[in-house]
A and B are shown apart, each in its own frame.
Chain A
Amino acid sequence: MTNPVPHIATARSVASAPAQAAGDSAVEIRNVSKWFGDVTALDNVSFEIRRGEFFSLLGPSGCGKTTLLRMIGGFETPNEGQILIDGVDTLGAPPYARSTNMIFQHLALFPHMNVLDNVAFGLKMKRLDDEVIKQKVHQALELVRLDGYGERKIDQLSGGQKQRVAMARALINDPSVLLLDEPLGALDLQLRLQMQDELRRLHKSLGNTFIFVTHDQGEAMAMSDRIAVMDQGHILQIGTPEDIYEAPRTRFVADFVGHTNVFDGHVSRIDDNGECLVACSGLTFRCIAPAGLTLEQPVSVALRFEDVTLGGDPGSADGTGCSATVTEKMYLGGMFRLETRTDEGVALTSDVTNSDAARLFAEGDTVNLTWQPANVSVLLE
């Protein structure tokens, strides 16, 4: 009881003195698979999370993102593969011996302790000196702007204050990796945006690695350095928010991130200038050809709602526009969403700015829609 477990010491020493051998990856996932009975939660996943980065695992519920997070935290064990934290294989290490800390989905604050005792819990477990604990708790509460709330009971706190206590309780241990399991899910929009700012601020000022699980693409976009989009136990794409948004590689990513028109078709022409034409049923799109594209290859194209412009020359032959009939017009505040249908029966949705031009059109009118080839993504899968 009185001596710390040896592997705590190992994990801590690695955390406090970043080993050169570990390179710049905080977490390394190597060929990890996990299944529960017949259900495969993760299927041979490999990637790295860099030290100090804000990394999001984004996907619909059941995609395996939470399972992956829980495996990094030590709450689940992979059936196959390895997870390295700070370059050290974590196999068999229980959560209390890892240099990770988790902010749980429903926060899991201890209801029988006040704010001080909640925040101090990790340090007490490390058997630090009482004075040191007191000082560090004070700093942590200051960091999350809760100084003066120490004596409060948990059920006397608002939702946002509970969030802050959970952050302080995890961050006071200076984890080498902070795991966040959709902790903002239960908050209303206003508070959610506030807490997003707060998390960004903490990440910037502390520099720990944050791994954030969410199903909210807006949240992932706003906060992350990099995002991994997951579906059905697979990582579909890893990249910066810009990469993911502007160059989705698969149909799922294009669909899941942002509002997108997706059409199936085949490559009908490849030009010397690096552009190509993709013919979909009834509509042709001019796009930037990705490397290795071949003629007649079946592909999909994605065109974001906001990349469709109202007006201009439809010139349907060159694949940068069409004319269509407005079937529904929705007012979204800053913009209108026009649902349109071409003469060939292709449905195309566009978000157009709240301009006078948009105001003029009503349902049933025919409009010209145009787009830039650079905004059309070619999806190979």
Chain B
Amino acid sequence: MTAVTPDRIPAKTKHRRSIKDGGVKPIGRPIWLLSPGVLWLLLFGLAPLAFMLMMSFWTSTIFGTKPDFSFDNYARVLVTELYRDQLFKTLRIAFMTTAMTVVISYPVAYLLSRLHGMQKALFVLMMFLPFWTSYVIRAFVWLPILGRNGAINNALQALGIIDTPIDWLLFNEGAVFLGLVYVYTLFMTLPIYLSLEKIDPALVEAATDLGARPASVFRRVILPLSWPGVLSGCIMVFLLSISAFVTPQLLGGPSGIMYGNVIASQFLANNNWAFGSALSITLVAIVVLLLLVSSRWIGLQHVFTGGRNS
């Protein structure tokens, strides 16, 4: 033990130093470990977007799409009344859907956060059960409910409330709104529920102890602490509904189509890829703008982590 050969001393000191640094041999800053994620983002995220941005300046004719640098597509997007109206309508539907899902989800999430054990499990199961089926089916299911020969019309006729079927239930903006709210509510309920669940019950007790009655406790403690969850849900639902395609396609009819359908028709029906790209980029730009504006009030870093950390 006492006899240490000189050539072993450097090895020992080296060992010591590495322990001091945290016990692990330092390997520098291994930035290359990020490469799979970065590669994925570049390949499937940024590259298509860049390609679309490029193509939005091209020109499409019946003979095909050819490289160009023209602002004609954007001029058409912004000037044509049809496309402007579609954009405003889509924004309106997205905002309304977001607002409605908050109104529905907050009480549901609050109730859920109050339940325990078996009750909670059952409740969660009931909430999730419809979401085990495809998104398309969840939108499609409204057809046999709202249609001319659908469940509602049949029921109203059987009860003698109406003589002829109501046909304004389906294929309009209202039906799209209903469908979107139904399909996306869970994306609002979950983040709100998670942020409510994170609230330490002792905080509620502390507020009560300091003289706050239930309404004040809710307004001053529960609501502010679950707010990041609400915002996170809002952003998700807004993003999902502004780019909705299947729901308006199935339930919208001619008057209920949204921006996503307009874009799709340029690619699928009109074969005008350049103009379709310009429409898409416009939508992306508006979404980014809205996110930036909203980041003035909320920390975007909180939004996707489901709330504050403390």
Partner-B contacts on A (CB < 8 A): 1, 5, 8, 73-75, 94-96, 100-102, 104-106, 108-112, 121-122, 125-126, 154-155, 169-170, 173
Contact = CB atoms under 8 A, between A and B. Distances in A.
A121 B310 contact: no
16 contacts: A75-B205, A94-B208, A95-B209, A96-B208, A96-B209, A101-B209, A104-B202, A104-B205, A110-B206, A110-B207, A111-B308, A112-B224, A112-B225, A112-B308, A121-B210, A125-B210
A173 B202 contact: no
B141 interface: no
A145 to B, nearest CB: 22
Contacts, number: 63
A96 B206 contact: no
B205 A155 contact: no
A104 B211 contact: no
Interface string B214-235: 0110001100110000000000
Contacts of A100: 209
Contacts of B203: 108, 110-111
Contacts of B202: 104-106, 108
Nearest to B223: A112
B206 A155 contact: no
B21 interface: no
B213 interface: yes
A125 B310 contact: no
B80 to A, nearest CB: 47
Given A125-B216, A154-B310, A155-B310, A108 B211 contact: no
- Helix, strand, loop or mixed for chain B's interface? helix
Nearest to A112: B224
A70 B308 CA distance: 29
Contacts of B211: 8, 96, 122, 125-126, 173
Contacts of B215: 1
B205 A122 contact: no
B213 A5 contact: yes
Contact of B213 (A96, A101, A108, A173): A96
Contacts of B210: 96, 101, 121-122, 125, 169-170, 173
A109 B207 CA distance: 9
Contacts of A111: 203, 225, 308, 310
A106 B215 CA distance: 24
Contacts of B310: 111, 154-155
A118 B205 CA distance: 14
A121 B219 CA distance: 13
A105 B200 CA distance: 12
Contacts of A169: 210
Interface centre among B205, B207, B209, B213 (most CB of A within 10 A): B209
A102 to B, nearest CB: 5
Interface of B: 200, 202-203, 205-213, 215-216, 220-221, 224-225, 308, 310
Contacts of B308: 111-112
A100 B212 CA distance: 13
Nearest to B308: A111
A227 B274 CA distance: 83
A125 B208 CA distance: 10
Nearest to B208: A95
Contacts of A105: 202
A104 B216 contact: no
B221 A110 contact: yes
A97 B43 CA distance: 62
Given A111-B310, A122-B210, A122-B211, A106 B200 contact: yes
A360 to B, nearest CB: 32
Nearest to B221: A110
A102 B225 CA distance: 21
A126 B213 CA distance: 11
B198 to A, nearest CB: 10
A224 to B, nearest CB: 23
Contacts of B205: 75, 95, 102, 104, 108
Given A112-B308, A173-B210, 5 more contacts: A75-B205, A95-B208, A108-B206, A121-B220, A125-B212
Contacts of B207: 110, 121
Given A112-B224, A112-B225, A102 B213 contact: no
Contacts of A125: 210-212, 216
A73 B210 CA distance: 11
B210 to A, nearest CB: 4
Contacts of B213: 5, 96
B206 A104 contact: yes
- The winner among A96, A154, A173 for most chain B CB atoms within 10 A is A96
Contact of A73 (B200, B209, B216): B209
A108 B210 CA distance: 12
Contacts of A96: 208-213
A298 to B, nearest CB: 46
B70 to A, nearest CB: 51
Contacts of B209: 73-75, 95-96, 100-102
Contacts of A108: 200, 202-203, 205-206
A308 to B, nearest CB: 41
Q: Which 9 A-B pairs have the closest CB atoms?
A: A125-B211, A108-B202, A108-B206, A122-B210, A111-B310, A95-B208, A95-B209, A96-B211, A112-B224
